[in-house]
Amino acid sequence: MTDDDLGPGDDGSDAVARALAADLDAGFAVLVDAHRDLLFSVARSFVRGAADAEDLAADALLRAYRALCGYAAERIGELRVRPWLLTILRNTARNRARDAARRPPPPPRLDPLDAGPPDDPSPELGPAEQAERGELQRALGAALGELSEVQRTAVVLRHVHGLPTTEIAQVIGCAEGTAKSHVSRGLARLRTVLDTPPAHPRPLEGNPNDRVKPR
């Protein structure tokens, strides 16, 4: 599926599509207002840090605007805006990964408890809660890095952002049943990774004072 293959929709963003069809520039401001936090949050599952996620989301928005400039008003009015944008975001991330000197993309960093702008403080949390939250985010981010790109995308869209399976299927370019399978297998893999204790070196036996010391 390409960025252009998405049809009429019922994802709640019809008003954005109508605004775009009526006035592209004013409507695009509405689009950015409605979806920039989602784009940034999903982008964090593709790249390492907040700055890279901001750059990726901005690049996707620029590509979206350029695409819209070539669409007729009737076509714009029929767009399923949210999955269309997320498809562009995913394709942009994949293109960047392919272009990155043939090396695999860095492990993703997901902040599932903060879908807003970067470095958003949480004054209601004390130091202990902040530390626990940070540990959870690091563990989940590392576990997500063990998934395939398509499984990671499916799990993040379904269980972090609550997208319906129909939209997830459009974003990753597959049948709805296949999208459900990606979500299910991704979750199963996550459970396996999170339930596996980290490997620790086996302690040496005997009295430490009896060990041979280097001369």
Integer Cα distance of 166 and 51 in angstroms: 30
**φ, ψ (nearest 5 deg) of residue 47:** -130, 175
Assess whether 151 and 88 both reside in one domain: no
Q: Using one digit for the tens of pLDDT, what is the confidence trace for 86-99?
A: 999 999 999 988 88
Would you call 79 exposed, middle or buried from its count of C-beta atoms within 10 A (0-12, 13-18, 19+)?
buried
CATH, residue 84: 1.10.1740.10
In a domain, 215, yes or no: no
Domain count of the chain?
Answer: 2
Give the range of the structural domain holding residue 101, as residue numbers without chain letter: 1-106
**Predicted structure pTM score:** 0.71
Integer Cα distance of 56 and 138 in angstroms: 21
What percent of the chain stands above pLDDT 70?
Answer: 70
Q: Using one digit for the tens of pLDDT, what is the confidence trace for 119-164?
A: 454 556 677 776 666 676 677 778 888 889 999 999 999 998 999 9
CATH, residue 149: 1.10.10.10
